[in-house]
Chains A and B, each alone.
Chain A
Amino acid sequence: MKSRKAELLVGLFVVLTIAAGLILALKVANQSISSSADTYTLYAKFDNIGGLKARSAVKVGGVTVGRVDSITLDNEDFTPIVAMSISKEFQKFPETSSVAILTSGLLGEQYIGFQPGFAIDGIENLVDGNYIQDTKSALVLEDLIGQFLFGNND
């Protein structure tokens, strides 16, 4: 009987661990948009990416649709190229869409704001590997302060 009790309690221990692991997986780490199988990649060139990092969010109207995959520098014209993996759930973005690097709150982290364009006849949808043409760079605080101080009114 003694070993039966031990087995029962070890079983309880295992169940407890699985429960804790599930809490960590679902509640804490939120395993949902992560596997690379159900995403596609879009690219965008910015003049300045500010504090954007890999794994930053890509949002449409505040809803996260993907993440920044990698940030590299184009060797030809020395502008940063941002690769974004977008969930396959959201596929029908027109070619006229634009992206901007925005900041959540005053001191928050930076993310990519994705602004879907108008779908008119003759405009195709963005597919895997496309470049988004219309981009807006990050606001660099120092530049803003410089413009303000030196009254650059143009």
Chain B
Amino acid sequence: MNWLANIGASTIERVVMFGRATLMLFGALVAKPQPLKMLPLTIKQLYVVGVQSLLIIVVSGLFIGMVMALQGYTILVGYGAEGSLGPMVALSLLRELGPVVTALLFAGRAGSALTAEIGLMKATEQLSSLEMMAVDPLRRVIAPRLWAGVISMPMLAIIFSAVGIIGGHLVGVDWLGVDEGSYWSIMQATVEWDKDVMNGVIKSIVFAFVITWIATFKGYDSIPTSEGISKATTETVVFSSLAVLGLDFILTALMFGIE
């Protein structure tokens, strides 16, 4: 009977944790809007979360686009269809790689930093001090970070896709000699704004929300010791990566599955 009780205990623990996470989300987001106080804090977090992730996003976008052009060219040239390189690179970037790879990089680059920062604030009792001064730490610390994450990740994903397509152009057209006209024109004939570009943006908004939620909650909920923070940081990266991959399948099935 012990194992049955163990299953029950771990289930209850998970449900309770999910409840705490939802409570934190509500405490942070559902309140009287105070744009004058919140805007400077959010802009500062946009700098930390968004601008500082820009370099890794641009570099990986460029290289992923270049590698895809190289790989795609060697396969497509066998069928004499190297003109289709443009739509291949653009569609895979816009639909899948842009949102997903950006989300994974974002979880590693910004999510882990968010968890560690908030966890350390908790361990050094800065959050409690805020509460002592009648400042709600959920509104002051968590909310700007949540907003900054949700706003900046779709922006990063758009930049990623655009840079990747330019990288594909660099390798496919400038190096391997695919016709520049067909690279762009077949891409333009194939890619649809609302179906491909917008669905990718919707995906990245969902991923952004999930990642920043997990990251801020793991930090806010961490055990305030050095070991607890390290565990919370690891869990942020693992959980949000798994959540992104799982959600990506569901969203793809809903968006591009059966018509």
Binary CB contact string for chain A from 30 to 65 against chain B (1 if under 8 A, 0 otherwise)? 110010000000000000000000010100000010
Shortest Cβ distance from A90 into chain B, in angstroms? 18
Chain B residues whose C-beta falls within 8 Å of the C-beta of A129 in the assembled complex: none
B14 at the interface (CB under 8 A from A): no
Min distance, Cβ B113 to any Cβ of chain A, angstroms? 16
Residues of B within 8 A of A57 (CB): 189
**A120 close to B (CB within 8 Å):** no
Proximity string of chain B (74-106) to chain A, C-beta cutoff 8 Å, 1 when within and 0 when not: 000001010000000010001000000000000
Pairwise interchain contact A13-B155, C-beta atoms closer than 8 A: yes
Residues of the B chain whose Cβ atoms lie less than 8 Å from the Cβ of A29: 188, 191-193, 196-197
What DSSP secondary structure best describes chain B's contact surface? helix
Interface residues of B in 189-208 (CB under 8 A from A): 189, 191-193, 196-197
Inter-chain contacts of A27 with B (CB < 8 A): 184, 188
Q: Which chain B residues border A25 with CB–CB below 8 Å?
A: 193, 197
**Does A127 interact with chain B (Cβ within 8 Å)?**
no
Closest chain B CB from A91 CB (angstroms): 23
A15 to B177, CA, bound (A): 32
Please, how many angstroms separate the alpha-carbon atoms of A28 and B200 in the complex?
Answer: 14
Main secondary structure of the interface of A (DSSP, over half): helix
CA distance A15 to B192 in the complex (A): 23
Contact in complex: B188, A30 (CB < 8 Å): yes
Are B193 and A9 touching (Cβ within 8 A)?
Answer: no
Q: Chain A residues with Cβ under 8 A from B54's Cβ?
A: 13, 16
Q: A24–B43 contact, CB under 8 A?
A: no
Residues of B contacting A17 in the complex (Cβ-Cβ under 8 angstroms):
155, 158-159
User: Is B161 located at the chain interface by the 8 A CB criterion?
Assistant: yes
Nearest B residue to A9 via CB reads B51
Q: A20: which of B50, B152, B163 is its contact (CB, 8 Å)?
A: B163
In the assembled complex, A141 has its CB within 8 A of some CB on chain B: no
Chain A residues near B159 (CB, 8 Å)? 16-17, 20
Extra contacts besides A28-B187, A31-B193 (17): CB < 8 Å: A3-B43, A3-B44, A6-B44, A10-B47, A13-B152, A16-B54, A17-B158, A19-B162, A21-B162, A24-B94, A24-B161, A28-B165, A28-B197, A29-B188, A29-B192, A29-B193, A30-B189
B residues in contact (CB < 8 Å) with A: 40, 43-44, 46-47, 50-51, 54, 79, 81, 90, 94, 152, 155, 158-159, 161-163, 165-166, 184, 187-189, 191-193, 196-197
Ranked 7 nearest A-B pairs via Cβ = A30-B188, A20-B162, A6-B47, A17-B155, A29-B193, A20-B159, A23-B162
